[in-house]
Amino acid sequence: MQWQIKEWIGESYRAEKTNGLRAYVYKNALWPAYYFNRENTGYDVKYKGGTIARIYFERKGATVKAFNAGACPEISDLDLVEIAMRVNSLRTARTDPKVVSAALL
């Protein structure tokens, strides 16, 4: 567990690894699948100006789809899975009424 995720701008996140790598996770609603299934939210993972992966959240799980596997050797598939898990925990904490009410106290 080397990635730290912090909310950056409304529903966008900045992921920083202990060795200095930095990736950004943006909510993207312009996918064709979004319009057919609004329950299926997703995020793009960007690194050095390019989209390296897409994360879909369905129910309690996440699906990570990496693009151009050899294009980004610094960030592995396990890194992407860790980023997805941490973003999911931040998303659920943000929408969970128990966590929100506890934060307001």
Q: Domain residues of the chain, as ranges?
A: 3-104
Predicted pLDDT at 105: 43
Q: Which alpha helices (H) appear in 8-96, and where do they start and end?
A: 32-36, 77-95
- Asked if residues 77 and 66 have their Cβ atoms less than 8 Å apart, the reply is yes
Query: So what's the pLDDT on residue 14?
Result: 93
Question: For every one of its 105 residues, what pLDDT tens digit does the chain have, with 9 covering 90 and above?
Answer: 688 998 878 778 999 998 889 999 998 765 555 555 555 568 899 998 888 998 887 777 788 888 876 667 888 889 999 999 888 888 777 665 554 444 444
What is the pTM for the complete model shown?
0.75
Alpha carbons 70 and 52: distance in angstroms, whole number: 10
